[in-house]
């Protein structure tokens, strides 16, 4: 690809006793380019430097990225398998002893077989995550369906990307998180950014974002909080949490009224315009303002700026997606691009800020309860046959679709699911309604957890399998653009740790399914099978060989064969992926959040992130610098609300909802709406805000409504605190 204006060629400084291993960060979907510095005598990672030659991030990294290398040789690493000796200590860190791999595998195989003999195949479940490479995600899906033969597999993308996926599938017929490469962002004329705390969560996007303003373009931000990006935006629409659908409909109405609809694009390339026009006509500025709390003037201005911009990109993140109407929100904001024809060309389009490092690839290749590799559907017999041919099983042996992540906890609670293999996720912190989820984990007859640190979820396990960190293995991940990139191995696994794929191959043997797995001896072997399994699916990775990824600075999918260079821009031919080639403009009636404020719970609680921590915090809370910067959770409260409750800055208060309560320190700030409070969710045990969140699921994506529920504050006066 063309190098853009920010590109600078810089010689890497090399030392005689060091080698540099070209790779990417372990954390978010930006996948910033980095070189890991490895001491050639000890063969250990000793540091990091940014990669100025990586076209997406050009040497930029955030505080998590520059300290990520400290994970690998950290003293908290689990070095050998652990077996629980004392069942009465389930739910705590205590009661484990070290064991050999043989003993751990034998125990797992025996327990899993016993449970399946007594309760049927589907009594086992797999819950995984997308910090893993594509190869690991792929093999985890195969392991669940072939080695365990269970229908119950799902993953943490249900808490993360599934609403974006659902919205894109409905609007475009295909789910690639961005319709254009990140190197287009700074060249557009308007960024409309909804529900993304970009400066803290995708910090290395910011140089491109600010460049839009520097060129005279506009930034519009939709967020109930005045985040760093909202503060410098041209327009900040500070809506009530959970009201995006009304706002989007209001803007669509004004785009049509203002004459910004592109009639020929609408006629030639979309369906659904007339219905949508009818529906949004009710969303006058006054009505939209009443629902959202955003002034009518600001709504008018937003429509005008977006409508007039020659090129514009609509971007969003979990702020709009983690709602029980997250899929509708995604389609509603996507409508803006379809209505104005600002899509299917460079510098214009729609993008979600994909969350986890492999949030894109991890959802395409078979960890989701209803999907098989290449984004194939378990309900489509042709798709099933194609995958069976690669896996060496018959369609009759292929399990049926299962249920979504949160619904699996419901099945654990009622004992339909009795066994769990959890890997690469920490739901005892990150799932909603934690009092229930922790009870469900405790209720399991047998649980295995794969992790490299003892997480809050591992505390419920019977066996812990020590995995490697990202820098001790190789494979590919797909970044937030849809670009497949290569993660390289910088040091050998420490202790007796192993990559997850290797554990699965070895366990499959003991479960009697060795013949489908025993040819997989290296990460490359898994990669070759994985490319083949994706071939012909619409998320086709077959042409993305490791060589090509290296030569081209990554490969955008779809990439069908050796000759295909990949697809940085989607829909340049104005062909969408629905059978008639058209995109869908969706008419979406407004629904309020599942739980509206009331007399007893008058506040709106929303949750999210800070720059220093990553997700459940199991990784970043162990990195001293990051933890020093943000050691504890807190609750953001507006000064007038603080005054009303007679609470001071830094005072501890109790926050409660219908599901639970927890104590947080107050951070009084004008950067939040008066009717809203915000708590970051990166903390464990009694500090988890998810004790309070609501498990209201989107009907399509099954995404929980992390971003809106009703809450109340109580001053921590010992007599008043409810016990
Ligand atoms: N530092 C850091 N970076 C990360 C991560 C991390 O944990 N830490 N995680 C990665 C992952 S997996 C993800 S998914 C992404 C998440 O990235 P983001 O989605 O940007 O992060 P959040 O903080 O969850 O939410 C974004 C914003 O949504 C706003 N919001 C809350 N309710 C609403 C609402 O109803 N409507 C609108 N429009 N906005 C609302 C919040 O105030 C917040 O500023 O970040 C990735 N990057
Ligand atoms: N209240 C609230 N809750 C939320 C959210 C929110 O905004 N608000 N956001 C949701 C979102 S978007 C997300 S993505 C989820 C994420 O929540 P989780 O799925 O809990 O994510 P992590 O904290 O990354 O957990 C990954 C775990 O796996 C380990 N790990 C990392 N890499 C590997 C690997 O390669 N192999 C193995 N075996 N283990 C590995 C890490 O040490 C860590 O313990 O949280 C969700 N929960
Ligand atoms: S922005 Fe994301 S990928 Fe880049 S250094 Fe920070 S956490 Fe890592
Ligand atoms: Mo996420």
CATH code for the domain in which residue 662 is found: 2.40.40.20
Decide if 589 is inside a domain: no
Instruction: Read off the pLDDT of each residue in 140-153 and give the average, rounded to a whole number.
Output: 98
What sign has the CA pseudo-torsion 359, 365, 371, 375? positive
Decide if 572 is inside a domain: no
Instruction: Read off the pLDDT of each residue in 199-216 and give the average, rounded to a whole number.
Output: 97
Last residue of a domain, one of 335, 352, 369: 352
Instruction: Read off the pLDDT of each residue in 213-231 and give the average, rounded to a whole number.
Output: 97
Write out the H or E segment, with its range, that includes residue 44: strand 44-50
Decide if 476 is inside a domain: yes
Q: How buried is 147 (Cβ within 10 angstroms: 0-12 exposed, 13-18 middle, 19+ buried)?
A: buried
Listed in sequence order, the residues at least 6 apart from 560 whose beta carbon sits closer than 8 Å to its beta carbon are: 535, 540, 542, 543
Instruction: Read off the pLDDT of each residue in 562-586 and give the average, rounded to a whole number.
Output: 97
Q: What is the pTM of this model?
A: 0.97
Residue 73: name the closest of 464, 623, 494 by CA: 494
86 and 67 in one domain? Answer: no
Residue 629: name the closest of 682, 576, 582 by CA: 682
Q: How many CB atoms lie within 10 A of CB 685?
A: 13
Give the pLDDT confidence score for residue 8 in this predicted structure: 59
618 and 530 in one domain? Answer: no
Distance of alpha carbon 707 from alpha carbon 678, whole angstroms: 9
pLDDT band at 722 (very low <50, low <70, confident <90, very high): very low
User: If DSSP codes are grouped into helix, strand and coil, which group holds residue 371?
Assistant: strand
385 and 322 in one domain? Answer: no
**Alpha-helix runs per DSSP H in 309-395:** 318-321, 326-340, 381-391
Residue 255: name the closest of 235, 283, 222, 230 by CA: 283
Give the pLDDT confidence score for residue 7 in this predicted structure: 63
> Which residue's alpha carbon is nearest to atom 3 within ligand 3?
31
Q: What is the dihedral of CA 153, 32, 1, 173, to 10 degrees?
A: 30
Phi and psi for 549 in degrees, rounded to 5? -60, -45
Q: Report the CATH number that the domain containing residue 49 is assigned in CATH.
A: 3.30.200.210
388 and 278 in one domain? Answer: no
Cα 60 to ligand 2 centroid, rounded to whole Å: 24
In order of 70, 506, 525, the CA distances from 502 in angstroms are: 24, 6, 11
Closest-approaching ligand to the CA atom of 607: 2
Average pLDDT, the chain: 96
367 and 319 in one domain? Answer: no
pLDDT, tens digit (0-9, with 9 covering 90-100), for 426-440: 999 999 999 999 999
Cα 614 to ligand 1 centroid, rounded to whole Å: 11
Decide if 720 is inside a domain: no
184 and 120 in one domain? Answer: no
Taking CB atoms and a 6 Å cutoff, what residues make up the pocket around ligand 3? 25, 27-28, 30-32, 61-62, 64-65, 202-204
Give the pLDDT confidence score for residue 15 in this predicted structure: 75
Distance of alpha carbon 12 from alpha carbon 444, whole angstroms: 51
Q: Report the CATH number that the domain containing residue 398 is assigned in CATH.
A: 3.40.50.740
Structural domain count, the chain: 4
Decide if 237 is inside a domain: yes
pLDDT, tens digit (0-9, with 9 covering 90-100), for 65-93: 999 999 999 999 999 999 999 999 999 99
427 and 324 in one domain? Answer: no
pLDDT band at 723 (very low <50, low <70, confident <90, very high): very low
pLDDT at 212 over 50: yes
313 and 462 in one domain? Answer: no
Which atom of ligand 1 is nearest the CA belonging to 678? 42
pLDDT, tens digit (0-9, with 9 covering 90-100), for 251-298: 999 999 999 999 999 999 999 999 999 999 999 999 999 999 999 999
pLDDT, tens digit (0-9, with 9 covering 90-100), for 376-404: 999 999 999 999 999 999 999 999 999 99
315 and 260 in one domain? Answer: yes
Evaluate: CB of 197 within 6 angstroms of ligand 1. Answer: yes
In order of 50, 51, 529, 665, the CA distances from 61 in angstroms are: 7, 9, 33, 30
Query: Among 608, 701, 705, which residue has the most ligand 1 atoms within 8 Å of its CB, making it the best to mutate?
Result: 608
Tokens of 589: 């009636």
User: If DSSP codes are grouped into helix, strand and coil, which group holds residue 215?
Assistant: coil
In order of 17, 20, 68, 620, the CA distances from 35 in angstroms are: 15, 6, 12, 20
pLDDT, tens digit (0-9, with 9 covering 90-100), for 357-379: 999 999 999 999 999 999 999 99
Decide if 173 is inside a domain: yes
Which atom of ligand 2 is nearest the CA belonging to 467? 38
> Which residue's alpha carbon is nearest to atom 5 within ligand 3?
65
DSSP state of 582: -
pLDDT at 718 over 70: no
Expressed as residue numbers, the domain containing 545 is 82-159+358-556
User: If DSSP codes are grouped into helix, strand and coil, which group holds residue 423?
Assistant: strand
Q: How many CB atoms lie within 10 A of CB 13?
A: 8
In order of 111, 157, 229, 270, 343, the CA distances from 340 in angstroms are: 58, 31, 25, 11, 8
Query: Among 77, 354, 451, which residue has the most ligand 2 atoms within 8 Å of its CB, making it the best to mutate?
Result: 451
506 and 521 in one domain? Answer: yes
Decide if 597 is inside a domain: no
Distance of alpha carbon 629 from alpha carbon 213, whole angstroms: 30
At CB < 8 A and 24+ separation, what contacts does 112-121 make?
Answer: 112/148, 112/419, 112/446, 112/511, 113/511, 115/418, 115/419, 115/445, 115/446, 116/148, 116/149, 119/418, 121/148, 121/149, 121/150, 121/151, 121/399
197 and 129 in one domain? Answer: no
Tokens of 271: 């369906």
pLDDT, tens digit (0-9, with 9 covering 90-100), for 173-194: 999 999 999 999 999 999 999 9
Decide if 722 is inside a domain: no
Q: Report the CATH number that the domain containing residue 261 is assigned in CATH.
A: 3.40.228.10
User: If DSSP codes are grouped into helix, strand and coil, which group holds residue 191?
Assistant: strand
pLDDT, tens digit (0-9, with 9 covering 90-100), for 471-494: 999 999 999 999 999 999 999 999
Last residue of a domain, one of 47, 71, 95: 71
Q: How many CB atoms lie within 10 A of CB 350?
A: 30
pLDDT, tens digit (0-9, with 9 covering 90-100), for 13-39: 567 788 999 999 999 999 999 999 999
Distance of alpha carbon 605 from alpha carbon 653, whole angstroms: 14
Provide the CA 116 distance to its chain's centre, in angstroms. Answer: 32
Q: How many CB atoms lie within 10 A of CB 66?
A: 17
In order of 187, 422, 428, 618, 689, the CA distances from 614 in angstroms are: 30, 19, 15, 8, 15
Distance of alpha carbon 62 from alpha carbon 42, whole angstroms: 27
Last residue of a domain, one of 556, 589, 623: 556
537 and 401 in one domain? Answer: yes
Cα 463 to ligand 1 centroid, rounded to whole Å: 33
Give the pLDDT confidence score for residue 9 in this predicted structure: 58
pLDDT at 719 over 60: no
pLDDT, tens digit (0-9, with 9 covering 90-100), for 320-359: 999 999 999 999 999 999 999 999 999 999 999 999 999 9
341 Ramachandran zone, left/alpha/beta (phi>0; psi -120 to 50): left
């Amino acid at each position: 690809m063309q190098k853009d204006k920010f590109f600078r060629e810089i010689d890497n400084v090399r030392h005689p006793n060091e080698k540099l291993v070209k790779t990417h960060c372990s954390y978010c979907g930006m996948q910033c380019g980095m070189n890991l510095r490895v001491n050639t005598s000890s063969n250990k990672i000793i540091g990091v430097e940014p990669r100025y030659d990586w076209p997406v991030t050009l040497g930029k990294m955030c505080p998590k990225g520059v300290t990520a290398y400290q994970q690998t040789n950290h003293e908290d690493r689990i070095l050998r398998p652990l077996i629980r000796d004392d069942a009465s200590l389930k739910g705590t860190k205590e009661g484990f002893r070290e064991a050999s791999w043989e003993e751990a595998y034998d125990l797992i195989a025996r327990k899993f077989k016993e449970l399946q003999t007594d309760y049927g195949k589907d009594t086992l479940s797999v819950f995984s995550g997308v910090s893993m490479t594509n190869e690991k995600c792929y093999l985890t899906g195969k392991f669940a369906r072939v080695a365990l033969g269970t229908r119950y597999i799902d993953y943490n993308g249900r808490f993360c990307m599934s609403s974006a996926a659902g919205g894109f599938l409905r609007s475009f017929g295909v789910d690639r998180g961005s319709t254009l490469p990140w190197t287009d962002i700074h060249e557009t004329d308007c960024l409309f950014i909804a529900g993304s705390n970009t400066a803290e969560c995708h910090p290395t996007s910011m140089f491109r974002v600010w460049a839009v303003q520097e060129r005279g373009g506009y930034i519009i931000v939709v967020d109930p909080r005045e985040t760093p990006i909202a503060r410098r935006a041209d327009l900040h629409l500070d809506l009530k949490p959970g009201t995006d659908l009304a706002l989007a409909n209001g803007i669509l109405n004004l785009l049509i009224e203002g004459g910004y609809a592109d009639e020929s694009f609408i006629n030639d390339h979309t369906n659904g315009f007339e219905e949508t026009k009818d529906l949004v006509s009710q969303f006058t500025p006054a009505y939209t303002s009443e629902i959202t709390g955003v002034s009518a003037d600001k709504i008018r201005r937003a429509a005008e700026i977006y409508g007039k911009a020659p090129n514009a990109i609509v971007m969003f993140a979990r702020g709009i997606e983690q709602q029980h109407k997250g899929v509708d929100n995604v389609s509603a904001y996507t409508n803006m691009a379809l209505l104005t024809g600002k899509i299917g060309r460079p510098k214009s389009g729609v993008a979600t800020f994909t969350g986890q490092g492999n949030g894109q690839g991890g959802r395409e290749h078979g960890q989701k309860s209803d999907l098989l590799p290449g984004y194939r559907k378990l309900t489509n017999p042709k798709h099933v046959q194609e995958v069976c041919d690669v896996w060496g099983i018959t369609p009759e042996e292929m399990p049926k679709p299962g249920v979504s992540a949160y619904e699996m906890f419901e099945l654990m609670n009622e004992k339909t699911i009795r066994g769990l293999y959890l890997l690469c996720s920490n739901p005892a912190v990150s799932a909603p309604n934690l009092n229930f989820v922790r009870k469900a984990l405790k209720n399991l007859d047998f649980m295995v957890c794969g992790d490299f640190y003892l997480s809050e979820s591992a505390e419920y396990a019977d066996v812990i399998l020590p995995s490697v960190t990202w820098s001790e293995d190789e494979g590919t991940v797909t970044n937030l653009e849809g670009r497949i990139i290569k993660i390289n191995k910088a040091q050998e696994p420490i202790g007796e740790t192993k990559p997850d794929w290797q554990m699965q191959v070895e366990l499959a043997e003991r479960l009697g399914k060795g013949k489908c797995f025993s040819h997989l001896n290296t990460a490359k072997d898994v990669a070759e099978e994985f490319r083949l399994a994706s071939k012909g699916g619409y998320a086709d990775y077959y042409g993305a060989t490791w060589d090509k990824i290296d030569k081209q600075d990554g490969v955008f999918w779809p990439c069908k064969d050796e000759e295909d260079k990949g697809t940085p821009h989607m829909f340049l031919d104005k062909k969408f992926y629905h059978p008639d080639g058209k995109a869908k403009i969706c008419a979406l009636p407004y629904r309020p959040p599942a739980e509206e404020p009331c007399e007893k719970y008058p506040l709106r609680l929303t949750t999210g992130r800070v720059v220093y921590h990553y997700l459940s915090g199991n990784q970043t809370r162990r990195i001293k610098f990051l933890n020093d910067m943000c050691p504890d959770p807190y609750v953001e409260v507006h000064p007038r609300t603080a005054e009303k409750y007679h609470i001071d800055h830094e005072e501890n208060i109790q926050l409660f909802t219908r599901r639970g309560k927890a104590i947080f320190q107050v951070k009084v700030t004008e950067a939040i709406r008066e009717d809203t409070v915000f708590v970051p969710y990166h903390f464990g045990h009694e500090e988890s805000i998810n004790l309070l969140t609501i498990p209201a699921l989107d009907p399509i994506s099954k995404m929980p409504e992390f971003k809106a529920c009703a809450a109340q504050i109580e001053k921590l006066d010992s007599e008043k605190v409810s016990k």
